[in-house]
Amino acid sequence: MNTHTLLTGQTLTFQGDPFAEPWEDCVQINSAGAVLLHDARIVAVGDAASLKSAHPQADIISYGDDLICPGFVDAHAHYPQTAMIASWGKRLIDWLNTYTFPEEARFDDPAYSQSIAERYLDLTAANGTTTMASFGTIHPHSADALFEAVQRRGQCVVTGKTCMDRNAPDDLRDTAQSAYDDSKALIARWHGKGRAQYAITPRFSPTSTPEQLSAMGALWAENPTCLMQTHLSEQPDEIEWVRSLFPQARDYLDTYETHGLLGARGLYGHCVHLTPREIDRLAEVQGRVIHCPTSNAFIGSGALDLPELAQRGIPLGLATDTGGGSSFSMLRTMAAAYEAAQHHGHALHAAQLLWLATAGSARSLHLDHEIGSLRAGNFADIAVIDLKSTAAIAQRENRTGTVWEDVFATLMMGDDRAIRATWIAGACVT
């Protein structure tokens, strides 16, 4: 029985980092390309004619002029906030208390956790997202629910139980010891099993005591292959709150560093208002900065100067931050990243935006050896993008001169209608 599948269309490939070298030298679109799949993996990427000739028995799926690209990698999200996405009218701290914490309290029910995990994965797949790094709630079974759901789908995920032992409702607090014990048990149960990766997950410094941060730092030292995800310097009033809670700290980042929570496998969401020292330290240790532009705009946090951090060599990822972000779409997120950079006088190229949403985010998650690029040996996690998905985009496309102009129009105006197909581990799921 033949188990090879050949996808033909326009193929997007990377040979480097378009923030570190000219994008023309490291990002290409082959207008007559193809990707050969076998079981869950990519076997080859190249010219359609050559791959058809070399594999005459392959099942061919033609996507015409659609763009075949790596599946999107959402490097910072909150799947438990799926049901309350786009909630009105609050800044970060009020928004957490008014919307987020009441919704997360519902995850005390394992059945509710399971239903939202499935809903979230359906919504993200419809938007071309094939991997995500998501926070859970304080309930260990919130992490179990997402891990179990992706295991059934053959999907890669990074997640962990959120840890909070202060400045949260009583029913959403754990302790330093229970956070350590529960997280340790989840690591043993899931980390490295199949495509599952565990992230030690203190929500952010205001909701963890120094004792809990130290416990999480100790756990990370004991499990150095795990990731660690948290929030950093999202809003000025949040930073002032941190300063009042940690008066001895040099800055926000120091509240993590002091407790063993700074490193190359650390994922630091937002980072809109970093100090020079924080930028220096993140660059020195190669801590990952995860850009959440739709959330930063929606909650009024500000516009991150992403190119400045790129120039410092800090590894960067891109994320929806649902439900602080108001869209599950990484296309919308790329558009917001473009808009944020414009506030600082930079016009990001479509090649840079696509790299951020795929290979860049995969590198941030230390998973670029398996996902994020159309490359032989990688998992066949693929998004196929219709570059004429709406009448507005189609009329724009018909006036452009290059494929990159066509791609840019879809990045700026596209949504889930632009996702022609999503493949996860070699299976078409949408």
Paired tokens of 157: 């995920």
- Distance in angstroms (rounded) separating the CA atoms of residues 8 and 66: 9
Over 70: is that where the pLDDT of 400 sits?
Answer: no
**Residue 183: its pLDDT value, please?**
98
pLDDT at 346 over 70: yes
Domain with CATH 2.30.40.10 in the chain: 4-71+373-428
Omega before 323 within 30 of 0, i.e. cis? yes
- Between 188 and 3, residue with greater pLDDT: 188
Q: Is the pLDDT of residue 90 over 90?
A: no
In angstroms, the CA 427 to CA 381 distance is 9
* Angle separating helix axes 110-126 and 140-153, nearest 10 degrees: 40
Confidence of residue 97 (pLDDT cuts 50, 70, 90): confident
The whole-number average pLDDT for the span 104-118 is 97
Q: What architecture is domain 72-364? A: Alpha-Beta Barrel (3.20)
In the predicted structure, residue 407 carries a pLDDT above the cut 80:
yes
| Average pLDDT value over all residues in the chain | 96
Q: What is the pLDDT of residue 388?
A: 95
pLDDT digits (tens, 9 = 90+) for 138-188: 999 999 999 999 999 999 999 999 999 999 999 999 999 999 999 999 999
What is the structure's pLDDT at 87? 85
Class of domain 4-71+373-428: mainly beta
Q: How confident is the model at residue 357 (pLDDT cuts 50, 70, 90)?
A: very high
Distance of CA 125 to the CA centre of its chain: 13
> How far is it, in rounded angstroms, from Cα 61 to Cα 294?
34
Which two three-digit tokens encode residue 274? 């970093």
Give the pLDDT of residue 91.
76
Alpha helices (runs of H) in 251-318, residue ranges in sequence order: 252-257, 276-285, 293-298, 306-311
**The pLDDT value given to residue 2:** 60
Q: What is the mean pLDDT of residues 230-252?
A: 97
Among candidates 294, 300, 301, which has minimal Cα distance to 321? 294
pTM of the model: 0.97
Residue 256 CB coordination number (10 Å): 26
Beta bridge partners of 144: none
Q: How confident is the model at residue 235, as a pLDDT?
A: 94
d(CA 227, CA 265): 5
Average pLDDT over residues 12-40: 97
The pair of three-digit structure tokens given for residue 243, joined into one six-digit string: 């300063």
Confidence of residue 383 (pLDDT cuts 50, 70, 90): very high
> Which band of pLDDT confidence, cut at 50, 70 and 90, is reported for residue 1?
very low
Give the C-alpha separation, 279 to 76, whole Å.
19
pLDDT of residue 71: 98
Closest C-alpha among 428, 430, 418 to residue 7: 428
Residues 172, 111: Cα–Cα separation, whole Å: 18
Nearest to 3 by CA among 35, 34, 40, 33: 40
Q: What are phi and psi of 404, to 5 degrees?
A: -65, -35
- When pLDDT is averaged across residues 394-402 and rounded to a whole number, the result is 76
